[in-house]
Amino acid sequence: MSEEKNHNKLTTASGRIYVENENSKTVGPRGPILLEDYILHEKMAHFNRERIPERIVHAKGSGAFGTFTVTEDISQYTKAKVFNKIGKKTKVFLRFSTVGGEKGSADTERDPRGFAIKFYTEDGNWDLVGNNTPVFFIKDPKKFSDFIHTQKRDPYTNCKSPTMVWDYWSLTPESLHQVLILMSDRGTPVGYRHMNGYGSHTFSMINARNEKVFVKYHFKTAQGIKNFTDEEAAQMKSKDLDFAQRDLLESIDNGDFPKWNVKIQVMTTDQARKVDFNPFDITKIWPHSQFPLVDVGVLELNKNPDNYFQDVEQSAFAPAHVVDGLGYSPDKMLQGRLLSYPDAQRYRIGANYEQIPVNRCPFAVNNYQRDGTMRVDGNGGKQPNYWPNSFDEIEVDKTYQEPSEQLEDTIADWYDRNSKVGDNDHYSQPRSLFRDVMSKSEQDNTVNNTIGAMSGITGPKRDVIINRQLCHWFRMDDEFGSRVAKGLGVDINAVMSASVGSH
């Protein structure tokens, strides 16, 4: 039979055409199954291996392909080719996510949202793996696994535990800024199209003269910010667990392509030495009055993946993946993430995960990495598998060399992340967010959401945890502290006297 005629016939994994997909081969109509019906075994065995481990965080997500278009010239800051011409278009893949829930959890949980973008640039894939918030809960990667344990299930009850959550936050005052944002209605955005994205960390850019600046990335939703109230989010949770997935998919299917205006904040290396806060501390924003937003381009999502598992579940982003003209910063959290992500992905998808189409650089990939599980790209064929060699034409291009760096300190130690002036103020920025940025109704909702969330604290340490967190709220803003205390039925005078001993 010709190849052409076989193309739509049912086959085994090895291509054998077979006809019986519902009945197993048995000894008589009511007898046992024969071992030789290996197709039955193949079917069951493949099914048993369908799951890959879900992401350790950000397990529930949605993704789409799109385009990044440059609208302004920022060559004074970076030589990155992705930005080198007004009008230039680069293909992107963006995965949104919630953080703490499992792969089947609700899209409308109160949680930060992941905003991970892969830019397929001609100089390699650039991954910007951010969130919908400009700050984060902690500022040292050594704290990440402890923090995430509190966001997941209690080891005894196997339930989510507001007690663990608030115990940890109240013992980690650097979290206050992000906790305040999370307690506002921005903690429950209406799907993924109506929220901003942020690179959150400080990154760097290097221009053609090898001059470096520090930058923060902002993606402002062109759809406008829209959030659910706590009540609306709870209603949506019972109505449609997959609200954000459906909303994104349907909007793109209907040709209503979501867009974000891409902007950066820029800080010179000299300014970084002089500002009165640590510019590499992810719990802080850079005030826009001092570091105004600079327009860069537009990001549009315009194509749904044909297959969710292939492109969304198998996608792998890594903050380590920068390209020529873009760099890191000494932000400790970023430094920790540089190693963590590829390690997680080797475990989650395997050593050759970079070959999977959504992860693969569509331009050149030339190196001497060979073999390993599921190597499916030809494995370098007959080409040499070592370097240097006298046979192939792969060359090292020294024009891509990153400039050397003068570091300020030369003494290695376990420095207390909060001990220096500029590192130890956890209250001023959330105070100004609450007092100066939030509208009256946003303030009211944030207070109510906080009361609702803290009401879940239970057990023998309930009062200690509530009082410790109230102290932080009071330090941030008296009125906020009083309103939350009142909502929780706490006597403020008792809290004040408890606060004397806590810090």
Helix or strand run (H / E) with residue 328: none
Residues that bind ligand HEM (CB under 6 A): 55-58, 61, 95, 97, 114, 116, 129-131, 136, 141, 144, 200, 282, 315-317, 333, 336-337, 340-341, 344-345, 348
Q: How far is the CB of 331 from ligand HEM (least distance, A)?
A: 9
Nearer to ligand HEM, 82 or 318 (CB): 318
Angle at 264 between CA 259 and CA 270, to 5 degrees: 175
Nearer to ligand HEM, 97 or 150 (CB): 97
Angle at 493 between CA 490 and CA 496, to 5 degrees: 100
Q: Which one of the listed residues 131, 352, 359, 445 is annotated catalytic?
A: 131
Q: How far is the CB of 471 from ligand HEM (least distance, A)?
A: 26
Angle at 251 between CA 249 and CA 256, to 5 degrees: 140
Gap between the Cα atoms of 301 and 256, Å rounded: 9
Nearer to ligand HEM, 37 or 242 (CB): 242
Nearer to ligand HEM, 131 or 445 (CB): 131
Nearer to ligand HEM, 58 or 218 (CB): 58
Q: Which one of the listed residues 7, 8, 48, 58 is annotated catalytic?
A: 58
Is 131 an annotated catalytic residue? yes
Q: What is the DSSP letter of 350?
A: -
Angle at 348 between CA 15 and CA 52, to 5 degrees: 50
Yes or no: say if 481 and 488 are a contact pair by the CB < 8 Å rule. no
- Torsion, CA 314, CA 238, CA 489, CA 425, rounded to 10: 20
Yes or no: say if 70 and 83 are a contact pair by the CB < 8 Å rule. yes
Is 58 an annotated catalytic residue? yes
Q: How far is the CB of 180 from ligand HEM (least distance, A)?
A: 17
> 357 — phi, psi (to 5°)?
-45, -45
Yes or no: say if 243 and 107 are a contact pair by the CB < 8 Å rule. yes
The answer to whether 341 is a known ligand-binding residue is yes
The torsion region of residue 104 among left (phi > 0), alpha (psi -120 to 50) and beta comes to alpha
Nearer to ligand HEM, 108 or 151 (CB): 151
Q: How far is the CB of 210 from ligand HEM (least distance, A)?
A: 28
Helix or strand run (H / E) with residue 474: helix 462-476
Q: How far is the CB of 29 from ligand HEM (least distance, A)?
A: 48
Yes or no: say if 136 and 178 are a contact pair by the CB < 8 Å rule. yes
Yes or no: say if 283 and 175 are a contact pair by the CB < 8 Å rule. yes
Q: How far is the CB of 389 from ligand HEM (least distance, A)?
A: 34
User: Which residues participate in the annotated binding site?
Assistant: 341
User: Which residues participate in the annotated binding site for heme?
Assistant: 341
User: Which residues are known to be catalytic?
Assistant: 58, 131
